[in-house]
Amino acid sequence: MGMSDVSHLSLPAAFAVVMVAGFAGLGMPAAFAACDATLRGELLPDPGSQFRGFRIRPTKLLFFSLDEIREDRGDRGAVTFQSFRVTNARTRFPIPFELTIHSSKDCPQELRLRVAGSDRDGLHYEYPLSGSKQIRLEKQEFERVIVHWPSF
């Protein structure tokens, strides 16, 4: 079969044939992969903070950040995967939370959940509570995050 024997195929049709063949060989395409999960847990005060003279109290605003832990050539680092701003009406601990994660990217294997709290919105330096915890979304565990007075 020579080049003159090949029937003419339009460029869009040829592209469609190549895409279908590629998807059939690879299974689901990466473009359709997604991360849909719900992270549930509660914030608890650091029990040792009262002995250091700091009283941790709930704040009106909670800022959660899910940071993807990555390793590149032996160096570990964190990149923000998703973040949330939550209004808190609780005046006592524990403070329950539920974060609904929707991303077009795959769920990261290892995440660091960070939380900071304040009574004021916007960029400022005063965050009277903070905490963090390593988590894995696939485990679907109830997460307990210890919060403390931030150290500088």
6 occurs within a structural domain: no
Paired strand residues for 135: 111
List, in order, residues 6 or more apart from 104 with CB less than 8 Å away: 33, 34
Asked whether residue 97 is domain-assigned, the answer is yes
| Phi, psi (degrees; rounded to nearest 5) at 145 | -110, 120
Instruction: Please say whether the beta carbons of 92 and 113 come within 8 A.
Output: no
Per-residue pLDDT, 6: 45
Domain that holds residue 133: 32-147
Residues 6+ apart with CB under 8 A from 146: 44, 45, 46, 131, 133
Where does residue 63 rank: exposed (0-12), middle (13-18), buried (19+ CB within 10 A)?
middle
Question: Is 17 contained in some domain?
Answer: no
Q: Look at residue 47 and tell me if it is in a domain.
A: yes
Coil, strand or helix: which one is 16?
helix
Indicate whether 60 belongs to any domain.
yes
Could you give the number of structural domains in the chain? 1
Q: Where are the alpha helices (DSSP H) in 73-143?
A: none
Asked, for residue 5, whether it belongs to a domain, the answer is no
Is residue 141 situated within a structural domain?
A: yes
Per-residue pLDDT of the chain (152 residues; tens, 9 = 90+): 454 444 444 444 444 443 444 444 444 444 556 899 999 999 999 987 765 666 788 999 999 999 999 888 888 889 999 999 999 999 999 999 999 999 998 999 899 999 999 998 877 677 788 999 999 988 888 999 999 987 65
Instruction: Name the one residue in this structure whose structure tokens are 């390593």.
Output: 134
CATH number at residue 120: 2.60.40
Give first-to-last CA distance, the chain, whole Å.
75
Q: Is residue 8 part of a domain?
A: no
